[in-house]
Amino acid sequence: MLILALDSTAVVASVALCEDDRALAAFHLNNGNTHSETLLPMVKAALDTTGHSVDDIDLFACSVGPGSFTGVRIGAATVKGLAFGKEKPVIGVSTLEALATNLLPFEGLIVPVMNARRGQVYNAVFEAKNGVLQRITPDRALAVTELEAELAAIGRPFALCGDGADMTAALLVSLRPVAISPLLTAQNAVSVAAVARRMYENGVRTTDAELTPVYLRLPQAERERLEREKQNPN
């Protein structure tokens, strides 16, 4: 199965072309350019260097959040455009589950964290055992203090990953995460492809029209609008 996977939910843009569990090509950019400028050229490079075309793709995959509102929208729109009219499955993947997949075959608790601003992180907790992830919590937005209390109650070693890993580690008062290579902590479309393939093998079949971004909370502009309406009900 040939899988084209994208991730643009954070600062790093990532595109991968995988054949089953083997990465044929993978590109990652962290140069400050907007994802709308980088994603399609990266897709073209992945296809050109492997001698494939979009018509060869069996499964399209995209990280659908949580993450940057703009980045999530760009990734979803890009993969929808690529898959349009192809009648191929399009699977949306949790950004946090893909981040946790980066660390396999790590054994133990994996805690992906992304900076959600406003003193919070987007987060989930996973248990990794024998190369398999088991979700312990849903994706959510919460304060680092809440996350620390939860991890303290679990009372086991854990590894952090994601663009909020350094910030979270610095804010933890009584806990210290297991050291992980920085090369494994950023978004990686190879992991997006791996999660999508796992979902496909478990019976998930969705289309480009069904691909839905996951924001976990309203965009700032919408929050500000609701706040204004609350203050001025008339």
Residues 13-24 have a mean pLDDT of 98
- What is the three-class DSSP state of 105? coil
Residues 177-193: what's their mean pLDDT?
94
**pLDDT one-digit tens code per residue, 214-224:** 998 755 544 44
CATH of domain 96-184: 3.30.420.200
Q: How confident is the model at residue 35 (pLDDT cuts 50, 70, 90)?
A: very high
DSSP helix, strand, coil percent of the chain (3-state; round to 5): 40, 25, 35
What are the start and end residues of each CATH 3.30.420.40 domain in the chain?
2-95+188-225
Q: Is the pLDDT of residue 75 over 70?
A: yes
CA dihedral 119, 123, 125, 129 (to 10 degrees): -130
Q: CATH 3.30.420.200 residue ranges in the chain?
A: 96-184
Q: What's the chain's average pLDDT?
A: 93
pTM of the model: 0.91
Between 196 and 185, residue with greater pLDDT: 196
Domain spanning 2-95+188-225: CATH 3.10.620.30: no
